[in-house]
């Protein structure tokens, strides 16, 4: 019985209890959220994991994406990145390899982490078709579903499936055009295949069959955002909204079939359109968990796109987004290394926390930090920091003579001066 079916029967499962304990909510709150489609818990019957709740009323979650490329295939590096992401506090991991032996790489990565792991089966199907037949457009439809089954059996918890790219969406894209082109790899693969073969997207036309696979292997559906903008000037355009309409309808259908569903959102969005996008996504999808890819709020900061994303992600989270996909400093430039992954996770965790301060009113940790700074309690400050080791490293690398203060203010530390002259404790 699927989690949705359990929830509809009023049953509180171990996964629901686990998420409730972590989130500090009642187990029945989680159960009701799953029954209504507002919350998902990605699960799998094939391995033990640390369960993660995503959705309305829960803290904003952060996903870290890793994977090989056609230029760099190093499984040991991907395993190291997976472990670094988990150690840095990522809530989920997406394994998105496009080079090497897909199933072997994914199996080794999955075995190296306790996190929920996501994937994009479409990558494997199209790239293997290119290797076998010489072109991605020669992929056979059955190969798409076989890749989905094969990856599910490895213990994959959720899958980004490009269900919303259909003949209507492609027509909107062609009619309207794009300043920044089509940035989604999955979107590009599927659009090229449809145009060349003059056929409908099999993931859309055979959606009922797809749901059978997802339900059998207890995989959460994440409706892929193949028409997302790759430039801020393309945000919220006709193709994106057409895909959202379709994905929202299909997410409802998945939920009715007992398959948990997430709706994915755009990637490059200017600040003044973020709240509109979140509100639109939530309203159209019936409050399904919303997965925002970034978002990046400007296109002119390569090398610093993790900072660009933190700005957009914090606004997205505050507006109601449930799930953030990190961006690393290497975005648009190169395959991320281990340090890029760690930096990306920490940066998006900061953004998620900022959003939760607004969305959920979670400010206790900030209050405690304010008091610890007032009292010059350095160990307490470290314990409250999102990245304690980095905070301690910076202070210790420029160690003060006075252990109460830091070398920013030294003898003229405002907190020390005030503490010696009056009591402002509150």
Residue 296 bridge partners (DSSP): 268
Within a 10 A sphere around the Cβ of 14, how many other Cβ atoms? 9
Domains in the chain: boundaries: 1-36, 50-359, 364-421
Beta strands in 49-122 (DSSP E): 54-55, 61-66, 92-95, 116-119
pLDDT score for 404: 87
Beta strands in 184-313 (DSSP E): 220-223, 261-264, 290-293
Q: Which two tokens stand for residue 6?
A: 């359990």
φ, ψ dihedrals at 226, nearest 5°: -70, -20
Average pLDDT on 53-82 reads: 98
Residue 241 bridge partners (DSSP): none
pLDDT score for 314: 98
pLDDT score for 154: 96
Per-residue pLDDT reduced to its tens digit, 309-323: 999 999 999 999 999
Percentage of the residues of the chain whose pLDDT score is greater than 90 = 93
d(CA 340, CA 318): 25
Q: How confident is the model at residue 287 (pLDDT cuts 50, 70, 90)?
A: very high
Per-residue pLDDT reduced to its tens digit, 83-103: 999 999 999 999 999 999 999
Contact (CB, 8 A) for 78 and 120:
no
d(CA 31, CA 288): 14
φ, ψ dihedrals at 139, nearest 5°: -60, 140
Contact (CB, 8 A) for 265 and 277:
yes
Mean model confidence pLDDT for the chain? 96
Q: Is beta strand 39-40 parallel, antiparallel or unpaired with respect to 54-55?
A: antiparallel
Q: Global pTM?
A: 0.96
In the block, residue with structure tokens 């505050």: 318
CATH of domain 50-359: 3.20.20.540
Per-residue pLDDT reduced to its tens digit, 127-166: 999 999 999 999 999 999 999 999 999 999 999 999 999 9
Counting beta carbons within 10 angstroms of the beta carbon of residue 352, is it exposed (0 to 12), middle (13 to 18) or buried (19 or more)?
A: buried
pLDDT score for 405: 86
pLDDT above 90 for 423: no
pLDDT score for 183: 93
Per-residue pLDDT reduced to its tens digit, 381-421: 999 999 999 999 999 999 888 888 899 988 898 888 888 88
d(CA 67, CA 102): 10
């Amino acid at each position: 019985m699927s989690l949705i079916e359990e929830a509809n029967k009023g049953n509180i499962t171990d996964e629901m209890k686990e998420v409730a304990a972590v989130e500090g909510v009642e187990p029945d709150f989680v159960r009701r959220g799953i029954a209504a489609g507002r919350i998902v818990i990605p699960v799998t019957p094939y391995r033990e994991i640390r369960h993660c709740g995503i959705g309305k009323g829960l803290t904003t979650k952060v996903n870290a994406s890793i994977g090989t490329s056609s230029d760099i295939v190093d499984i040991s590096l991907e395993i190291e990145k997976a472990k670094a992401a988990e150690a840095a506090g990522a809530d989920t991991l997406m394994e998105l390899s496009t080079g090497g032996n897909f199933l072997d790489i994914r199996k080794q990565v999955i075995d190296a982490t306790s996190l929920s792991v996501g994937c994009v089966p479409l990558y494997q199907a199209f790239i293997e078709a290119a290797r076998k037949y010489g072109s991605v457009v020669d992929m056979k439809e059955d190969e798409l579903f076989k890749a989905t089954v094969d990856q599910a059996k490895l213990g994959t918890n959720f899958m980004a499936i490009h269900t919303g790219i259909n003949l209507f969406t492609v027509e909107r894209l062609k009619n309207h055009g794009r300043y920044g082109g089509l940035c989604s790899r999955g979107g590009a693969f599927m659009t090229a295949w449809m145009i060349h073969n003059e056929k409908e997207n099999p993931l859309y036309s055979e959606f009922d069959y797809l749901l059978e696979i997802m339900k059998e292997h207890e995989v959460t559906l994440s409706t892929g955002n193949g028409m997302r903008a790759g430039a801020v000037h393309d945000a919220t355009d006709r193709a994106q909204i057409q895909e959202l309409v379709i994905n929202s309808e299909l997410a409802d259908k998945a939920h009715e079939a007992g398959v948990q569903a997430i709706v994915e959102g755009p990637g490059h969005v200017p600040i003044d359109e973020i709240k509109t996008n979140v509100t639109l996504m939530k309203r159209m999808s019936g409050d399904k968990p919303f997965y925002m890819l970034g978002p990046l709020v400007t296109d002119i900061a390569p090398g610093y796109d993790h900072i660009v994303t933190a700005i957009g992600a914090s606004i997205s989270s505050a507006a109601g987004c449930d799930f953030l996909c990190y961006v690393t400093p290497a975005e648009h430039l190169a395959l991320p290394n281990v340090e890029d992954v760690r930096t990306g996770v920490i940066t998006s965790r900061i953004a998620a926390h900022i959003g939760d301060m607004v969305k959920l009113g979670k400010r206790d940790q900030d209050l405690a930090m304010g008091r610890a700074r007032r009292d010059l309690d350095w160990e307490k400050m470290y314990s409250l920091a999102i990245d304690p080791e980095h905070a301690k490293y910076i202070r210790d690398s420029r160690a003060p003579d006075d252990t109460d203060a830091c070398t920013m203010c030294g003898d003229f530390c405002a907190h020390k001066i005030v503490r010696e002259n009056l009591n402002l404790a509150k």
